[in-house]
Amino acid sequence: MSTSIKNICCIGAGYVGGPSMAVIAAHCPNLQINVVDRNKDRIDAWNSISLDDLPVYEPGLKTIISRFRGINLHFSIDIEKHISEADMVFISVNTPTKVKGIGAGQASDLKWIESCARQIGTYAKGSTIIVEKSTLPVKTASTIKTILESYVLGNNTDESKNKTFSILSNPEFLAEGTAVEDLENPDRVLIGGEDKNSILVLKDIYLKWVDEEKILTTDLWSSELSKLISNAFLAQRISSINSISALCEVTEANINNVSKAVGMDKRIGKYFLNSGPGFGGSCFKKDISNLIYICNHYGLSEVAAYWEQVILINKWQQKRITRIIVDKLFGTISEKKITVLGFAFKPNTNDTRDSPAIHICNDLLEEGCFLSIYDPKVNENQIKKELSQSENSNSLDISTSLYEAAKGSDAIIILTDWEEFFNIDFKKLSTIMRAPSWIFDSRDVVDQEIAKNFGFKVWKLGNG
């Protein structure tokens, strides 16, 4: 029999911590859930009166927050208090790629995980179940365990002697833009651990809304590793289809027809076969890089080289798009105005982490053009921050409407498939751009026959 719990603390109020705890709160009225973060601005934003100021934009999230915030879902910077009161602590902090030192550019920087383990070791009382929700290198649970043990062993106070910890791995598979939907109806919930009772306690929470057959329990290491491998497989499909998009362009084939034909094979499946400007987001590149690092660490250099190609093709696809734009615009875009539509790494999110738009905009700026950028959800400060490394970062302007952005430009490049871009008014556009006007569509949103009828020259990715 599992022991019931009353208080959950989640460390990390980010894209995963906020939505995942909101959905647990919605299904478990008997649990008090405190999401804590050391970033006060973020916590203030989660507590903001206007639900339009929440730090994470996700369809459906506002409604859940409005119903459960202050009832059984709370956001706080009082980390010490909420860890000490918790029966279960989720670790949902960032695990970015190391930027310097050993493993820079590949290994995960686990300093935030270590700081969580130390906070839990210091403040937890009695028996606490620790749940790894962050994406972690395989074997991280053993590091957390070692750190936690140091707060118990050799520590002779009564309070320390009474502390016990059980560690579970429960990776999160949500995708941004569909986070609430993915959390409400997951393909699977994965729980890895050693202690059967702790596994049951966590499983009981998910059973409130997830079918039992979708809840998979495994050992710790398989669970930790499965998360990295899921992301690696998804990213691999994108690089595979993107590599073929280039082949379609030179053979007069059409990437959509190829994807459809290939994806109709049940063994392959139709999902994740959309070609585009390469994958972005905070996860794929980071997690594959980490996988490559781990493989090299264990001497599996051929395996590492295999996965390295997924990242190389992704970079190549982005460079290739800039080369095509320059080529089509008579070999130079210097002093031309280019409009970029979409800056988020995918639609329905305001997240720009590792967005293909960052790399492509930097390359375009390097060619000397003036960029005019419009995204329905990413604000001006965020776009400017992402492009601030460019030497030419003053050659850009951020607009609040598609048509304002397009005024006087020689070309439009569509980098995110926001709904709004499927309904472009080409008649209006044709009167405000400079001819010959180009549309470069990297996301298959434009009907090229309609656009051509209004005098546009159109390039579509993967369309020969």
Residues with catalytic function:
283
- State which residue has the least CB distance to ligand NAD: 14
Please give the distance of CA 175 from its chain centroid, rounded to a whole number. Answer: 6
Please give the distance of CA 131 from its chain centroid, rounded to a whole number. Answer: 20
In the complex, the residues that contact ligand UDX under the rule CB under 6 A are: 172-176, 231, 234, 238, 272-274, 276, 279-281, 283-284, 345-346
Q: Cα separation of 210 and 203, whole Å?
A: 9
Task: Decide whether 240 or 395 has the Cβ nearer to ligand UDX.
Answer: 240
Length of the chain measured in residues = 464
In the complex, the residues that contact ligand NAD under the rule CB under 6 A are: 11-17, 36-39, 42, 79, 92-95, 112, 115-116, 119, 134-135, 172, 174, 176, 282-283
Partner whose binding site includes residue 276, from ligand UDX, ligand NAD, none (CB under 5 to 8 Å by kind): ligand UDX
Token couple for 134 = 């962050």
Q: Dihedrals φ, ψ of 268, to 5°?
A: -95, -50
**423: which DSSP letter?**
G
Tokens 């579509």 found at = 460
CB 462 within 8 A of CB 254: yes
> Which H or E element spans position 36?
strand 32-36
Partner whose binding site includes residue 346, from ligand UDX, ligand NAD, none (CB under 5 to 8 Å by kind): ligand UDX
Task: Decide whether 32 or 94 has the Cβ nearer to ligand UDX.
Answer: 94
Partner whose binding site includes residue 426, from ligand UDX, ligand NAD, none (CB under 5 to 8 Å by kind): none
Tokens 């729980």 found at = 191
Q: Please report how close the Cβ of residue 281 comes to ligand UDX at its closest, in angstroms.
A: 3
Q: Please report how close the Cβ of residue 25 comes to ligand NAD at its closest, in angstroms.
A: 17
Partner whose binding site includes residue 234, from ligand UDX, ligand NAD, none (CB under 5 to 8 Å by kind): ligand UDX
Task: Decide whether 172 or 249 has the Cβ nearer to ligand NAD.
Answer: 172
Q: Please report how close the Cβ of residue 133 comes to ligand NAD at its closest, in angstroms.
A: 6
DSSP characters over 350-413: ---TT-HHHHHHHHHHHTTPEEEEE-SSS-HHHHHHHTTTSTTTTSEEE-SSHHHHHTT-SEEE
Partner whose binding site includes residue 12, from ligand NAD, ligand UDX, none (CB under 5 to 8 Å by kind): ligand NAD
CA atoms within 13 A on the CB side of 314: 25
Task: Decide whether 259 or 416 has the Cβ nearer to ligand NAD.
Answer: 416
Task: Decide whether 43 or 373 has the Cβ nearer to ligand NAD.
Answer: 43
